[in-house]
Chain A
């Protein structure tokens, strides 16, 4: 054997397994324009669907006249709610236990809502026909403010009138959706009443949108001969979509094949089910032809799932020397016209109850009230795990506000309140069990890396210079220590539409020692085909380059709940390791048979089983694979494959320390990020190159959100930020370079100790940027100011503080 001369280390390196900065296998296709995204799919006779959308945010639909549209050559059909009603498809269930109109059923509740669906021979004719559909509206009073909505006599959801019980308990008002309470209210109020110091603030996390570069879309193809529906689409959860389509359409689930092809970014936007999917399926059934629907950018920003829009009223109590004693939070959550949040069923406000953050806070209380308004539905986890970004922003702002009240350095305030390494597993006051962490080590490493004391000295000098009229630029130092909760999740408390949030992996070893693995997740840029092969390579000793990885085809992949909430590595990554270990267990028996020793007398060595004490007697995994297919081994079935459905015992809790140094011009409101240091601890690191790439991208999305990106409405409910002209996506020009760093605190319950990282940089990045802005103005009296901190708003802060003379 030619590899007998290699050391174990050399053999391990050849596998390109865990820890290797393996180049991505996906990139060979993508760099040549050979990706296969949904709009690249072309089927014979394919028709195009397009929507007539409401220009009003709240209106009755008096009539819809299709005649002129239907008369246009090339138009095949125009569907309205009336056409869908006999099928029971004019409404659909949402992921949050509410229901949502597929096409306007008598009224519209947000601007851009789907009113009619036009089907035509090409997309140009469809667009023409949309213009020809005549809709008569009767305007109704518009509610865009959730606080007003809770007081208003205007009923938004007339379909729910008289229903005092919602999917998540009692409804207090006709525009109220739910109240969700966690923690001990009485105890927290008692702590607040007795505290040395209480800081109180309203922290608003504005409405924004995930805005993946590829919009949402699908191709529905009903084969009338076989009765089989194939649905291609931008689905972050293809299996869940299959089940939902089956439940609402009545088509048996085995007759539905859902395929997620390459996906051009998701960030939570592509988790839910949209009207476009339902209408395309119906149109394909009606016409017998494939129907493609791909939304344009304006439709994407105006109508598919938004993120955030949380008004978080907070109170934080501490002793006079800064030990936090209690945290209270009441959140008013603006859900728009329908409650279409994508959260596990039992968590209508997601994991907002991680809002005690990285701190040992003995007593806490959280209440969230969900409210209907005349805005688009959604509330998805935009590059975060179910409202974790809101929670992290809330606590990291409250810490800063408390530091002002205590006149204490915010870095020190964090340090004295961190959960200590020896307190893990840590039970939080709001109900979570943090798996592992070492916050002090990470924090000290971060402060040292940026020379925190030096920065504070520079800032003090800058303030003096500013006051002396020598400069008009301020220096802000934005600190954040965040703790995430990802990897939903244990089936015992996490499900979506009743589907437990496990995930899966199936591995088949081929006779010649290569393999294929299929997972229940779906990559949208995370590089699963690269990294999951690395897990398998390390577990079973076959080179990652010899392992094909497939996702996204529900006819071939095992059932899984998909990719969002940083759950792929914590859940499907665990399933991958477990499936690989089943293969290794069988391989051990085969090796023992081939070596003519007892099973217990062989031991695993990188890529082979060797006889204990006689390492020159071994069988490589490649030898074993062939034997599995060509030898009759007593007591063993032929073949070498395994499947694992992994139900995680707990969430994972990645954490990190981020520091942003920002220059701010008080006269123009312009900002420049001078330095950004990101330390992440995501447990075991599978591919450092991909981890760093995730951090760069996630921090850039955080930069966008904190510094300019928003979905804004005027009083009439018009979307003011519906194109990329108004909706801020940073270019290479305003995006800084980032310094990445890490510590490694493995998850004790995950088979390979990994925790997930894709969303950490957004969760930690937003407060780091926002805190930098606040920190710059803090010496001049600023306590709290709402995001996004665009140039205009920063100018207004300076103006409001009297800094413009």
Chain B
């Protein structure tokens, strides 16, 4: 099958490659770019393990062709840590509140939560539960995920507003 040229910005870095028109974004990320944070859990858009952020929206990359998003700005969970390698606020709060167990849903969960907090910086519990309903977890029962997101919102809201989405990456003070 003939291949097409695709160019993307992934986690702030410009990347390009060749892909078949039918190549799914999740496979391009995982197989070609070796970005294996996003996972494949269902291939039908239900579980959200493959969630990435595309041009400011949460998207399930298992049902998106890479050709559809040519030129897009994509963020995966790998892009949510701080530059020095320390955990971003959401990552730290998921750890602090035991918001993960097997870790398979976690990259999609955190990537979705990152966008949710951009859409709604101060969500109620109900809004978090509704906003996260596209991401399934089989281990945690969600209770601690909700806590982690709520705690992240509190920390981010207490910080100086930077006016940028990079606020999600600001370092959290040691939470022990």
Binding site for B on A (CB under 8 A): 23-24, 26-35, 37, 39-40, 42, 122-124, 211-215, 262-265, 267, 294, 296-297, 524-527, 689-690, 692-694, 696-701, 723-725, 729, 731-733, 735, 737-738
Decide if B36 touches A213 in the complex (CB within 8 Å). Answer: no
Decide if A213 touches B105 in the complex (CB within 8 Å). Answer: yes
Contacts of B36 in A (CB 8 A): 33, 37, 39-40
- What is the CA–CA distance of A772 and B87 in the complex, to the nearest angstrom? 42
- What is the CA–CA distance of A132 and B87 in the complex, to the nearest angstrom? 47
Is residue B43 within 8 Å, beta carbon to beta carbon, of the partner chain?
yes
Nearest Cβ in chain A — how far from B167, in angstroms? 18
Decide if B138 touches A212 in the complex (CB within 8 Å). Answer: yes
CB-CB under 8 A for A265 and B138, given A23-B96, A24-B98, A213-B105:
yes
Decide if A737 touches B138 in the complex (CB within 8 Å). Answer: no
- What is the CA–CA distance of A215 and B40 in the complex, to the nearest angstrom? 9
- What is the CA–CA distance of A698 and B132 in the complex, to the nearest angstrom? 20
Decide if B98 touches A689 in the complex (CB within 8 Å). Answer: yes
Is residue B124 within 8 Å, beta carbon to beta carbon, of the partner chain?
no
Is residue B142 within 8 Å, beta carbon to beta carbon, of the partner chain?
yes
22 contacts between A and B (CB under 8 A): A23-B176, A24-B95, A28-B95, A31-B90, A31-B100, A31-B103, A32-B81, A40-B30, A123-B27, A211-B138, A212-B104, A213-B39, A213-B47, A213-B49, A213-B137, A214-B41, A265-B104, A690-B98, A724-B42, A724-B44, A724-B136, A732-B128
CB-CB under 8 A for A32 and B39, given A263-B102, A738-B143:
no
- What is the CA–CA distance of A433 and B143 in the complex, to the nearest angstrom? 36
CB-CB under 8 A for A23 and B95, given A37-B39, A213-B41, A724-B42:
yes
- What is the CA–CA distance of A526 and B98 in the complex, to the nearest angstrom? 11
Nearest Cβ in chain A — how far from B86, in angstroms? 9
Decide if A525 touches B102 in the complex (CB within 8 Å). Answer: yes
Decide if A697 touches B101 in the complex (CB within 8 Å). Answer: yes
What 6 new A-B contacts, CB under 8 Å, besides A267-B138, A297-B42?
A: A26-B103, A32-B91, A265-B138, A689-B98, A693-B101, A738-B141
Residue of B nearest to A702 (CB): B141
Decide if A735 touches B91 in the complex (CB within 8 Å). Answer: no
Contacts of A215 in B (CB 8 A): 41
CB-CB under 8 A for A124 and B40, given A213-B136, A527-B101:
no
CB-CB under 8 A for A697 and B44, given A23-B176, A27-B95, A37-B104:
no
Contact with A along B131-147 (1 / 0, CB 8 A): 01111111111111110
- Interchain CB contact (< 8 A) of B47 among A35, A40, A724, A735: A724
- What is the CA–CA distance of A526 and B47 in the complex, to the nearest angstrom? 21
Main secondary structure of the interface of A (DSSP, over half): loop
Nearest Cβ in chain B — how far from A120, in angstroms? 13
- What is the CA–CA distance of A692 and B97 in the complex, to the nearest angstrom? 11
Nearest Cβ in chain A — how far from B147, in angstroms? 10
- Interchain CB contact (< 8 A) of A39 among B39, B80, B132, B142: B39
Decide if B104 touches A735 in the complex (CB within 8 Å). Answer: no
- What is the CA–CA distance of A724 and B49 in the complex, to the nearest angstrom? 13
Decide if B94 touches A35 in the complex (CB within 8 Å). Answer: no
Is residue B150 within 8 Å, beta carbon to beta carbon, of the partner chain?
no
Is residue B46 within 8 Å, beta carbon to beta carbon, of the partner chain?
yes
Decide if B140 touches A696 in the complex (CB within 8 Å). Answer: yes
A-B pair number, CB within 8 angstroms? 182
Contacts of A34 in B (CB 8 A): 37, 78
B: number of interface residues (CB 8 Å): 61
Residue of B nearest to A296 (CB): B43
Nearest Cβ in chain B — how far from A383, in angstroms? 10
Is residue B20 within 8 Å, beta carbon to beta carbon, of the partner chain?
yes
Nearest Cβ in chain A — how far from B13, in angstroms? 15
Contacts of B144 in A (CB 8 A): 693, 696
- What is the CA–CA distance of A524 and B101 in the complex, to the nearest angstrom? 8
Nearest Cβ in chain B — how far from A687, in angstroms? 9
* A211, A264, A693, A732, most chain B CB atoms within 10 A: A732
Q: Which chain B residues numbered 87 to 115 have a C-beta less than 8 Å away from chain A?
A: 87, 90-92, 94-96, 98, 100-107, 110
Residue of B nearest to A526 (CB): B101
Nearest Cβ in chain A — how far from B87, in angstroms? 6
CB-CB under 8 A for A697 and B95, given A30-B106, A214-B41:
no
- What is the CA–CA distance of A262 and B46 in the complex, to the nearest angstrom? 22
Decide if A732 touches B145 in the complex (CB within 8 Å). Answer: yes
Is residue B66 within 8 Å, beta carbon to beta carbon, of the partner chain?
no
Main secondary structure of the interface of B (DSSP, over half): loop
Is residue B129 within 8 Å, beta carbon to beta carbon, of the partner chain?
yes
Decide if A525 touches B44 in the complex (CB within 8 Å). Answer: no
Contacts of A265 in B (CB 8 A): 101-102, 104, 138-139
Contacts of B135 in A (CB 8 A): 731-732
Decide if A732 touches B129 in the complex (CB within 8 Å). Answer: yes
Nearest Cβ in chain B — how far from A532, in angstroms? 16
Decide if B43 touches A31 in the complex (CB within 8 Å). Answer: no
Nearest Cβ in chain A — how far from B58, in angstroms? 14
Decide if B44 touches A124 in the complex (CB within 8 Å). Answer: no
Is residue B168 within 8 Å, beta carbon to beta carbon, of the partner chain?
no
Is residue B76 within 8 Å, beta carbon to beta carbon, of the partner chain?
yes
Contacts of B139 in A (CB 8 A): 213, 265, 525, 693, 697
* A30, A697, A729, A733, most chain B CB atoms within 10 A: A30
CB-CB under 8 A for A31 and B138, given A214-B39, A724-B44:
no
- Interchain CB contact (< 8 A) of B78 among A33, A40, A693, A729: A33
Decide if A214 touches B44 in the complex (CB within 8 Å). Answer: no
- What is the CA–CA distance of A396 and B19 in the complex, to the nearest angstrom? 56
Contacts of B31 in A (CB 8 A): 42, 122
Nearest Cβ in chain A — how far from B171, in angstroms? 14
- What is the CA–CA distance of A735 and B142 in the complex, to the nearest angstrom? 7
- Interchain CB contact (< 8 A) of A35 among B103, B138, B176: B103
Residue of A nearest to B131 (CB): A732
- What is the CA–CA distance of A692 and B137 in the complex, to the nearest angstrom? 16
Nearest Cβ in chain A — how far from B89, in angstroms? 11
- What is the CA–CA distance of A26 and B90 in the complex, to the nearest angstrom? 16
Decide if A525 touches B96 in the complex (CB within 8 Å). Answer: no
Contacts of B80 in A (CB 8 A): 32
Nearest Cβ in chain A — how far from B88, in angstroms? 8
Is residue B25 within 8 Å, beta carbon to beta carbon, of the partner chain?
no
- What is the CA–CA distance of A212 and B47 in the complex, to the nearest angstrom? 11
Decide if A124 touches B128 in the complex (CB within 8 Å). Answer: no
Nearest Cβ in chain A — how far from B25, in angstroms? 14
- What is the CA–CA distance of A212 and B142 in the complex, to the nearest angstrom? 15
Residue of B nearest to A696 (CB): B141
Residue of B nearest to A41 (CB): B36
8 closest A-B pairs (Cβ-Cβ)?
Answer: A33-B37, A264-B104, A525-B102, A30-B103, A696-B141, A525-B101, A700-B141, A724-B46
- What is the CA–CA distance of A378 and B90 in the complex, to the nearest angstrom? 39
Residue of A nearest to B130 (CB): A733
Decide if A27 touches B128 in the complex (CB within 8 Å). Answer: no
Contacts of A37 in B (CB 8 A): 36, 39, 104
Is residue B22 within 8 Å, beta carbon to beta carbon, of the partner chain?
yes
Residue of B nearest to A27 (CB): B95
Contacts of A731 in B (CB 8 A): 129, 132-136, 142
Contacts of B43 in A (CB 8 A): 296-297
Decide if B138 touches A213 in the complex (CB within 8 Å). Answer: yes
Contacts of B22 in A (CB 8 A): 124
Nearest Cβ in chain B — how far from A722, in angstroms? 10
Decide if B136 touches A212 in the complex (CB within 8 Å). Answer: no
Contact with A along B28-59 (1 / 0, CB 8 A): 00110011111111111011010000000000
Contacts of A30 in B (CB 8 A): 100, 103, 106
Decide if B20 touches A124 in the complex (CB within 8 Å). Answer: yes
- Interchain CB contact (< 8 A) of A732 among B49, B96, B132: B132
- Interchain CB contact (< 8 A) of A31 among B106, B130, B132, B146: B106
Nearest Cβ in chain A — how far from B22, in angstroms? 7
- What is the CA–CA distance of A29 and B46 in the complex, to the nearest angstrom? 25
Decide if A696 touches B40 in the complex (CB within 8 Å). Answer: no
Residue of B nearest to A527 (CB): B101
Nearest Cβ in chain B — how far from A422, in angstroms? 36
Contacts of A123 in B (CB 8 A): 27
- What is the CA–CA distance of A124 and B24 in the complex, to the nearest angstrom? 10
